Each structure stands twice: as structure tokens, then as C-alpha cells.
Structure 1
């Protein structure tokens, strides 16, 4: 009978895959990293960041846009931006910036990170800094400081009617700005229109009223953002079409407008069955932009993209050990992990997000259907299904043969949403975090970024020490 875990995977998916394979011992390798050796060296629970994947995805996107623009003889330029909110860690920014990219910010402290990177020579005044988000006092003053100190490619993206006045009040030079379009949300969403940006129908009037005769600002960019990301569905193409109509109408009366910022981002692999045609989507986007502009006889825009999860998501992972199995009734077997999903993978319970889940060892063993439980006393601290199926199947629990699990492509948002280094639910500590990189000889290097939180760390935060 084909009842081993490796049989299940081979029957269900195309396997091995580019980043996943198993060795002769039936242990999992991720980007040629032996996951069980990682466990033996650093223990569990464990978080890791595989830096080379960041550069790989950036270069992949840049190359696809380059090929597509060449194919369509598109005369505009392409600029890749990284959304820092996906992961603010220095090792992430340092790796991403080796690929000649730009930055999108969303709050005041982002600008402090930008200034730090400038001091280190990681970015220059030529690096585009696109400032998104709802802007007040500290964020405004930090943007003004950056512009006043000579950063000409800092472009605040106007989110509401008051921001132009707030920004220009303290800026000593004419500055470039963008306008964010308040797109309509998906029909199933709780709200009809995004709370961010300015409505489609109001933008041209807003330009005439506040920008056209304003000698302190120069409208350079229109920012189009879809919360659900770049997807091949009627909703996305309809919103893009409406955006292009706004761009065309604005371009006819605003010669300085020369850039279109396509926010929202590409999806990342969330299952071994993941199938997304990046090349097709880029081709279709570029084609639609070019056709619309040529038909309207207006100059095509330079293209900016803001990729956050796509940049960093597939570089991260989390490793756990199954401590014990609880048989709660005749159908439910609970495998208890040695950490908490609420602490380490908050999106898995907060928005029911699913990641790639694979065992690190025992692929030759018989499998069973299980539920995964975290260590907190919260009933929401569980993981019960994978992206492709409403269940979790893993090698059968055996007390004398420990089972280790890996959650992959967890590199975006989980640390910041989980409150990295701070208080955690039920005081379940943050696990040890290691960084995996490659040296000049392309050999793997491992570095402990942060040790597992201790009781002393928590007591200090709580005021006991």
C-alpha cells in the first residue's frame, strides 16, 4: 500500500520542487539546506531567514519586467520598490538594497531607517523614497527633513486633502508628490471604498484646486493600490482600467505627471500546488497600460511596483517539534508543538492565512490526519488545514521517534505583527532566530540573530526588574 507520507506528497504534487526535496534518509532539504541538521545545531523552536531568496525574487521580477517592456517596445522605465512594512529588519534591507532597488515607507520611523541606511551608504539621494500612509506630525516632519537635506527623489504620496498643506509648510524647496487612488474594495469586503487615498472621481478636481497653481509641489506620480494584490480576475482588471482613465485625464492637464505606481504586490507560494503565471500578469499589465495611453495619445508612464511579501516572504521559515499527541475524541488527534502560533505565526490565526507546512523528517513513515495545537491556553492557538486541502496530514506520531515540522515562506509581517522581542501571549517566548546567507564562494553561512527570549526579558518589560 502507498500509505507513507512521501507517497502522499508524490501522488498529490509535482515533487521534488525547486526549493524542496528529500534526501536518501527521507529528511527535508530547503534550498539545499538540510533542515534536520539545522535542528541538531540550533534546536527548536526556531525561526530562520534565508537571505539569498530575497535577491533571487527581486532579480526575477526585474528581469521579467525588462523582457516584457522590450517585447512591447515600452519606452518608460521600471523601478522596483520594497515595502519596508513587510519586514523592517536590517539584514532584510541590506540584502534587498544590493539589487539596486528603491523603498516605500508607511510611517514616521521608516524615515529614521532611511537616514540610517544613507549614513551607511546603502542608499543615496538618487534612491526613490515613496512615502505612503496617513501622515501626521512626526511623519510629516521626518519627510520634510529628508527633502530639506537634499533627497530630491523623496516622493510623498498624498493620502488626503490636508497633506499638501502640512507638507509644504516646512519644506524649503519644490517637491515632487504623488496621489494615491482610493480604489473600490472587492465586493465581499466589509467596506465599499478603501479608507486610503482620494476617490477616482475627485482626483482631477483636487489637482486643479490644490496642485496646478501651487509653486511648492510638482505632481509626478499616480499611485494605484489593490489590497488583495495583483490577481488575474475581473475585479483587478476593472480597477486597473479605472486607474488608467484617471492617469490619462490627469496627464492631459498635468505635463509633470510621468509615473504610475502599481501597488498591491505579487502573491507568494503558499502551497506545493501554487500556480501563478507572473510572466503573463506582467505582460498583460504592461500591454494594457501601453494600449490605453497610445489610444488616448498621451505619453506612457514610468512604472513603479511595490513588492513587500513577494520580496521577503519566501525567505522565512519556522521550525517546531511535536511534543505530544492528545486524543480528544474518536476523530481528533492534537499534535502539540513546542511554541505558539499566536506568538510566531500570528497571521495563521488572525486572518486564517496558510503557509507551506512540511515535516522535516520521517517521510518514509505512515501518515495520519491531525490538528496542530500551540502552547497557549487560547482556543484560537491552532492550525488545522493547508492551503490546498481542509486538513493536515503528517507522519504518524510516535513517542520514541520525534517529529519536526517546518512552516515555510513566513518571512513577511509575522515578526512585526507578533511583536518581535516584546510581550507574547501567555508569555510564550519568541524562538531563536538565525540568518542564513552565502559568502563570496557561495557557501552557506549561519548566524544567530537573536537568542530565544528568557524569563528575565519578560520580567524587565513587565516592570518586575
Structure 2
């Protein structure tokens, strides 16, 4: 009778998978011995496996290279990293090993770019695509970067006032892009994105504010939809509308030579995840080429801004099940030694699911459970997986500790959770380690940050301010 947890996984999925396998009856992630991490560093624990960042960048570049060659596409492809997914230096350092470019979202991003330039990680040849609504400090920082010689900084115009604001501070000529305010999927609560300028308004905007402005040269049209890149009628229809704007604009604006299709590649959120990245890239290239041929305009250079895809699959979190509470006849709550709200806030805020697997005890029998966090908030729980409307884990046994791993958590969770700051119910941020490989391919680990201490939180709250009585 197949009653072990490993039997459940083998019956439900193809297993092992590229990044997951069992070794000595415990889970390995990219050949990392997760139980050894637990033994060496304890739990709760967060980790970043840096080589996966370069791996995903390489994968995407190869898909675009293959499609460009197949279709004899005459434009160039540029991979940009969307920094808001994770601003940490170790992430940028790894990503920039791969000849990529940067997309920024706010004023302080430019300070990070300037630090990276000082260290030689990027040069004036690196494209800096500056998105977002531009307040005074953001405009000032963009202008400073361009005035200091970074001509490949391209501010993406989000509203009608930004050209004038930028022109007042930037000395000499500069390049710009325009963001299309895409129409959202029908299920959204609003019809049109708050970001950018509407489809119908872009040509009049170009004629009124850009065409005769001798300081400004339009180089890029920017297109992105919130649902990301998906093989459905909605995505292909929005791309077609974008291409219509691009070709109409290209006819009257010879300097326009680039199309930015934004980010939106999904990342693996279940062992059942299935997305044909290579097909999607091939079809995007094909659609752009066919549309431009039909409209008799040159194909654009292509930019992408992959954020979650770049860094998401490098991250993980490990917890221990502390205790099991039987709250009624059907519901068993496994309490973890941390909080979902504070360490994986997307599980709480947008009901996001990550790959969740036990680290050990795969050969024990299993049970259906709910997972609860330590805060006194009723929403601090995790109750279902993408592939099934339940969580199944090895049966709780207070004599046999159970450790759980959440994987592909590397995008947004630290910044949304307020890394280094206050956490809900003052639950401390976990220890965070960086995992890399040396020149011989051997794993190396180092502590990036220790678990928060009470004095860290008391200082933020003002209790350790000696000047106050």
C-alpha cells in the first residue's frame, strides 16, 4: 500500500526534477544538501542560490538568440534586469556578470546605478531604462546620471509633464521612451493601466511635445501588461495593438528603433508547473516580424525587463514545524517557527503560491494539514497548493522534527516584508545566507545577515534612544 509521502509525490508529479531530488532520503535543491544547511545554520532560514540568477539570464538569452537566428530577425536583443524585484548588491553583482542592462523604478535606484558604475560593474554603454512616475528627486537623479555622461540612460515618459521636467535639468540632448498605458484583462477592477499614456494619445503626444523638441529624441516604445507574458488571446491582442502604435509612430519618427516588451515571464510555483518559454519567445519574434513586414517598417531592437524571472528561482526559506494543533475533527494546524506575513508576504497579500516541500521524512506516512505562522493575525497561514486544494505533509511526530522548504521565493519578499525593519508582532527576520560555487564548482556559503535581535527592534521603536528619558 502506497502511504508514504514519497509515494504521493511520485503518483502526482514527474519526480525527481531538474532542481529537486532526494539524496539519503532528504531533499536536495540544485544539489544543495538542505538538511546540512539546517544543521549548520538552524531555522528559520532564508537563502539565495546565486548561480541560478546567471542560469536564468542565460536561458532567456539563448531563447531570444535562437528565435532571432531562426526568423533572420534584423533587430538586436537586450536583456534588462528589473531592480525592484531585488535591489540587494549580491543579486546585482551576480546578474551583471552576464552582460545585461538595468531597469529602474525610483530615485534611489539611480544612486545604486552610480555605485555600480564606481565599482566598474556597469559602464556608460549599459542601458539604464528609467521607468515609473517621476517625482522631483527621481528627475534630478536621472538628469545627474545623463549630465555625467551616461547617454544610454533612457527615461520612459509616464505622463505629459515629464518631458518638460527632464528638459529643465538635463543639459543638451537626451533620448526618451514612451510607455503605453495598456488595457487590462477584463477581470481586473479597472480598464486601463495607471502607468503610461493611452494608445490613442501617443501619436498626438509625439506630434505636440516631441517632434519639434530639439532636445529630445524618441528611441523606444514601452509595452507591459500586468498579467505578464502568457499564451492567451488577451496577450496576443494587446501585443498586436502595441505593434500598431509602434509602426504608425515609426513612419513619422525615424529615430524610434526599439520596442520594450517589459517583463512578465512566470516562474515555477509548483512541481506541476509547465510553461513553454522557448515557444513564447519564438512566437513573439515571429509576430513582431510579420507585423512590421506587413506595415513595411523596419523591425525594432527588443528589450525585456525580467525581474522575478531573473531572481525569483534563486531564493528559498526553511522552517521547522514546532507543534501541531487539532482544532476540530478535520483541521490540523502545523505551526511553523516563523511567520508567513513577515517572511513570505505575497502568500498573505496576493495569495501567491510557492513550491513547498518537506526537507526530510519523505519515507514517512502523510496527512492533510494547514500551516500556521506565529503572529496573532488570523491571516498568517498557508492552506493550499496550486496543484491541489490541500497541503499534504509527513505526519507530525514531536519526537521526529519536520522541516519545510519554500522555494523560488527570491523576488520581492524581502523588500515587501521590510528587510531589516519592524516585522508584524515583532517576529524577527530570519538568518539569511548566500550560496555560491567556487571555480571548481564546489558549494560555498556565507552569512549575509543574522536573525534580528530584540535590541535591533527596540532601537527602531525608540526604546534604546539614550537621549530620551
Structure 2: how far apart are the matches of 1:36 and 1:275?
A: 28
Query: Which position in structure 2 is the counterpart of 1:100?
Result: 99
Query: Which position in structure 1 is the counterpart of 2:68?
Result: 69
Query: Which position in structure 1 is the counterpart of 2:351?
Result: 352
Query: Which position in structure 2 is the counterpart of 1:339?
Result: 338
SS in 2 for 1:169: helix
Structure 2: how far apart are the matches of 1:63 and 1:331?
A: 49
Structure 1: how far apart are the matches of 2:386 and 2:172?
A: 51
Query: Which position in structure 1 is the counterpart of 2:295?
Result: 296
Q: Per-residue deviation at 1:418?
A: 0.2
The gaps in structure 1 that reach 5 residues or longer are: none
Query: Which position in structure 1 is the counterpart of 2:169?
Result: 170
Query: Which position in structure 2 is the counterpart of 1:228?
Result: 227
Structure 2: how far apart are the matches of 1:396 and 1:254?
A: 65
SS in 1 for 2:96: helix
Does the Cα contact within 8 Å between 1:54 and 1:95 map onto a contact in 2? yes
Kindly report the root-mean-square deviation, in angstroms, between the aligned alpha carbons of the 2 structures: 0.4
Q: How many residues were matched structurally?
A: 464
Does the Cα contact within 8 Å between 1:227 and 1:264 map onto a contact in 2? no
Structure 2: how far apart are the matches of 1:173 and 1:97?
A: 29
Structure 2: how far apart are the matches of 1:264 and 1:377?
A: 36
Does the Cα contact within 8 Å between 1:15 and 1:21 map onto a contact in 2? yes
Does the Cα contact within 8 Å between 1:221 and 1:259 map onto a contact in 2? yes
Query: Which position in structure 2 is the counterpart of 1:392?
Result: 391
Query: Which position in structure 2 is the counterpart of 1:109?
Result: 108
Q: Per-residue deviation at 1:441?
A: 1.3
Instruction: Provide Cα deviations, 1:81-103, integer angstroms capped at 9, x if missing partner.
Output: 00000000000000000000000
Query: Which position in structure 1 is the counterpart of 2:467?
Result: none
SS in 2 for 1:368: strand
Q: Per-residue deviation at 1:169?
A: 0.5
Structure 1: how far apart are the matches of 2:262 and 2:190?
A: 19
Query: Which position in structure 2 is the counterpart of 1:4?
Result: 4
Does the Cα contact within 8 Å between 1:20 and 1:28 map onto a contact in 2? yes
Instruction: Provide Cα deviations, 1:85-138, integer angstroms capped at 9, x if missing partner.
Output: 000000000000000000000000000000000000000000000000000110
Query: Which position in structure 1 is the counterpart of 2:77?
Result: 78
Q: Per-residue deviation at 1:387?
A: 1.2
Correspondence list, 1:47-446, <5 A: 47-446=46-445
Structure 1: how far apart are the matches of 2:278 and 2:313?
A: 18
Does the Cα contact within 8 Å between 1:323 and 1:338 map onto a contact in 2? yes
Structure 2: how far apart are the matches of 1:105 and 1:382?
A: 33
Structure 2: how far apart are the matches of 1:371 and 1:198?
A: 45
The gaps in structure 2 that reach 5 residues or longer are: 465-469
Structure 2: how far apart are the matches of 1:265 and 1:193?
A: 17
1:18 and 2:27 correspond: no
Structure 2: how far apart are the matches of 1:215 and 1:22?
A: 63
Q: Per-residue deviation at 1:311?
A: 0.1
Q: Per-residue deviation at 1:265?
A: 2.0
Q: Per-residue deviation at 1:272?
A: 0.2
SS in 1 for 2:169: coil
